[in-house]
Structure 1
C-alpha cells in the first residue's frame, strides 16, 4: 500500500491548507466570541456564509463526496483522509467546505440509496450548502448501542408511513437551516432482525415533529448545530419518503458508517495535532521554577509520546481507508471498529496533556482545548460505544479459534 498523495489530492491538500491558514484561522476566535456574545447563538453569522462562498468559488466544496456526477471531488477515502485531518484543526472548517457531519453521511445515503425525487428535493440543496440536516437514530428510553432495541416506529399505512417515538442526540437539529432529518424506526417486528427497520426523510416542519430541548456536552451546546431531543407524534408522510423502501434501514446504516468513521477519526487526528501544537507552544514559552515547562516534570516525554500516538493513529486510519477503497466495508469491518476505539482515546490523552500544560487556562474558553476534549469524549459514544466495537474486533479475532462461536 502507498499512502503518498496523488497529484489531485496533493493539490487539494495545498489549497485547503492555504485557505484554512489564510481565511479561517485569522477569524475563528472572533467568530466564536461573536457567537457567544450575540444573545442568540442559534444563528448563522455572516462570516460563515462569506467563507462558504469563497471556498465554493475556489472549488473547495463537497470534497468528501467521491461521486463527481453529484458535484463531488472524486477522491478516494485515502485521498480525502488528510483533507479531513486539516479540517479537524478548526471547529468551523468542515462547514465552510460543506464537509460537516451529519450532512456528509446523509448526503452519502441519498446518493447511494435515494430516489431521483428524494435527491432533487433534499440532496441537491444540501450539496449546494443551502440547507442542513440531522440524523435521528438514538433513543432516550432504550440502550441504543443495540439498535435492535429501537422503540420508535415507522409504520406503513396504505400509501403513507406513520412515525411515532422520541429520539435524542440528534446532531444538527438546532441549526436554523436544518430542513430535514433522517429518522430510523421499527417497521416490521416479525421480519428478520436486520430487515425490521426503515429510514425515512422527514421535513422539520412536518406536523407532529417537535424539538423538545437542546442537550449539552460538558456544558457545551455546539451552537449553532447542537444536539437535540426530538419527538415524533403521528407524523404522516407519503410512502415515497422512505429511503430505498421499507425494511432497509440496517442495510443503509451499515453503508453510511464506513466512510463516516474515517472522516470522524481523521478530523480527530487534526484536533490532536492542534492540541499538541498548543502544548508545545505553552511548554516552550511558559516558565515555572526558573525553567520552561518543557524541562519540568517529564513533560518532554509526554510530548514525545503524544507525537508517537498521533502518528500511530494516523497510519491505522489510513490503512483502514485503503482497505475500504480496495475491499469495501466487508474487508474492513474490524479495522473500522479499531479506529473508532483507538483514535478518540488517543485524542483524549493528547488534549488532556495539553490542558494540563495550560493549567486552569486550559479549562476556559480562552483556549479551544476544553471544547476539543468535549468533542473527542463524545466520540467514544457516537456511532457506537467502544464496547460494541471492541466486541466486533474480538469476535473477528477469535473466529478462527472458537469453531461455531464466531457470531
Structure 2
C-alpha cells in the first residue's frame, strides 16, 4: 500500500468517525436516503476538510484500485460516509466510466461537477421485470434509440434507477439497430418522468430507487458515449470496478458492525459472565474476524488484477459473490450477538444488515455470477479437451 493512500485513508477514517457518524440519527434521513439538504451539508464539511472525492487526485487521475480499496473501506465505516465524501454508488462508478470513455467535452460538462460533489448522477440500465425488460440479462433491453437528424430519440421504461430523484447527470442505455448505445444527459428533463420511488430494504443512497418512463427524449448526437452498438462493452468497463467498489464500501460497514457487536459482547453479562465468554457468542465474533479478513484479501487480489490491466470480469464476479456473502454472514452474526438491541434502531447495525442484504442482489445477484463462472468452467474445459 502506498503512503499517499494510507494518509488519505487515515484522514477519511477520522472524518467519518468524528463528523459523519453523528449524522446517523439526523431526522433528514428518510426511507429513500438522506435528503439533498443533508447530502450537501455533509459534503460542505468534507470539502472544507479537503476530502471531497478522495479517490480522484488533484490532477484528475484516479487512485489505483488497490489504493482505492483502503480509502473506500474507511469511507464505508458509516453508511453515510460514502455519501459525504463522494465515493458512493452510482456516482463513483459513473465518474470512473466517464473518465474512461467520455470525450474532453463530456468531462468538462458532466464529469467535473460530479467530481466536485456539486451534482449526483444515475445510471439507467435496468428495466421493469413485469414488462420483460433487462435486469441481470441486459440483452433483454427494450428501451430503444433511433437517429433523427443530429439527435437520438430514446423511448422506454427503466426500474431500480438509483439516485434518479434529484440527479443532475444521467447515463442512459438504449438499443439501436446497431446494438446497445450509451448516452450522457442533463437531468431533470421533462421527457423523463419518475413514476414512483420504490420502498426497498436499503436506505443509504440519496434519491432511492426509481421506476420511470422515457418518452421521446431527444439527445444531441455528440452526447453518445463512444460508438453505437458498443454500449454493453462500456457497461463492463463500469461494472467490473463498480462491483469491487461496493465490496470495499460494505467491508468498512461490516467492520463497524463487528466493532459495535464486540463492544456489546464484552460489556453485557448473562448467566454469570460476559457474553463474549460464552462460546456460542465468542465463536460468532471469531468467525466474523475470519470472514472480514478473507473479504479484505479477496478485494485486494481483485484490485491487483484490475490494476494489472485486465478487465477483471471473472475476478470481479468472484469477489462480488465471496465478499457479499461473507459480509452478510458478518452482519447477521452481529445482530444475533446483540439480540433485541441488534434489531432495534439503537445502533446502526440493523441498517448495515439491511444494506448488505440488498448488496447480495445489486450489481448482479450471487446466483447470476455463479452461473457466469460455471459457463467459464465449461468453456475452459472445452478448450482443454477439444473433440
The TM-score normalised by the length of structure 1 is 0.87
3-state SS in 2 of match to 1:403: helix
Aligned in 2, Cα 1:258/1:405: closer, same or farther, shift over 3 Å?
Answer: farther
Residues in 2 aligned to 1:170 and 1:222: alpha-carbon distance in whole angstroms: 14
Which residue does 1:35 correspond to in 2? 29
3-state SS in 1 of match to 2:66: helix
3-state SS in 1 of match to 2:210: strand
Q: Assess if the C-alpha contact under 8 Å between 1:77 and 1:324 holds in 2.
A: yes
Q: Cα deviation per residue 1:289-335 (whole Å; 9 max; x = unaligned)? A: 33322233611111111101110111011011011101321xx3322
Residues in 1 aligned to 2:24 and 2:151: alpha-carbon distance in whole angstroms: 47
3-state SS in 1 of match to 2:196: strand
In the TM superposition, 1:6-405 aligns within 5 A as 6-25=2-21, 27-31=22-26, 33-36=27-30, 43-45=35-37, 48-65=39-56, 69-70=59-60, 72=61, 74-140=62-128, 141-142=131-132, 144-174=135-165, 176=166, 178-188=167-177, 191=178, 196-218=179-201, 220-222=202-204, 224-296=206-278, 298-329=280-311, 332-403=312-383
* Deviation of the 1:34 alpha carbon: 4.3
Q: Cα deviation per residue 1:232-275 (whole Å; 9 max; x = unaligned)? A: 01112221221123222112101112221221101111111111
Residues in 2 aligned to 1:296 and 1:343: alpha-carbon distance in whole angstroms: 28
Aligned in 2, Cα 1:41/1:271: closer, same or farther, shift over 3 Å?
Answer: closer
Aligned in 2, Cα 1:207/1:30: closer, same or farther, shift over 3 Å?
Answer: closer
* Deviation of the 1:179 alpha carbon: 1.1
The TM-score normalised by the length of structure 2 is 0.92
Q: Assess if the C-alpha contact under 8 Å between 1:136 and 1:170 holds in 2.
A: yes
Q: Assess if the C-alpha contact under 8 Å between 2:30 and 2:203 holds in 1.
A: no
3-state SS in 1 of match to 2:325: helix
* Deviation of the 1:172 alpha carbon: 0.7
Q: Cα deviation per residue 1:8-55 (whole Å; 9 max; x = unaligned)? A: 112112222222222222x22332x34359xx9763335x43442332
Residues in 2 aligned to 1:144 and 1:30: alpha-carbon distance in whole angstroms: 34
Residues in 1 aligned to 2:383 and 2:33: alpha-carbon distance in whole angstroms: 56
3-state SS in 2 of match to 1:298: helix
Residues in 2 aligned to 1:290 and 1:380: alpha-carbon distance in whole angstroms: 38
Aligned in 2, Cα 1:308/1:112: closer, same or farther, shift over 3 Å?
Answer: same
Aligned in 2, Cα 1:247/1:65: closer, same or farther, shift over 3 Å?
Answer: farther
* Deviation of the 1:224 alpha carbon: 3.5
Residues in 1 aligned to 2:185 and 2:28: alpha-carbon distance in whole angstroms: 32
Q: Assess if the C-alpha contact under 8 Å between 1:348 and 1:377 holds in 2.
A: yes
Greater CA deviation, 296-305 or 123-132?
A: 296-305
Q: Assess if the C-alpha contact under 8 Å between 2:73 and 2:251 holds in 1.
A: yes
Q: Assess if the C-alpha contact under 8 Å between 1:64 and 1:104 holds in 2.
A: no
Which sections of structure 1, spanning at least 5 residues, go unmatched? none
**Structure with more relative contact order (C-alpha pairs < 8 Å, separation 6 or more):** 2
Residues in 2 aligned to 1:392 and 1:93: alpha-carbon distance in whole angstroms: 32
Size of the aligned set, in residue pairs, is 383
Q: Assess if the C-alpha contact under 8 Å between 2:284 and 2:337 holds in 1.
A: no
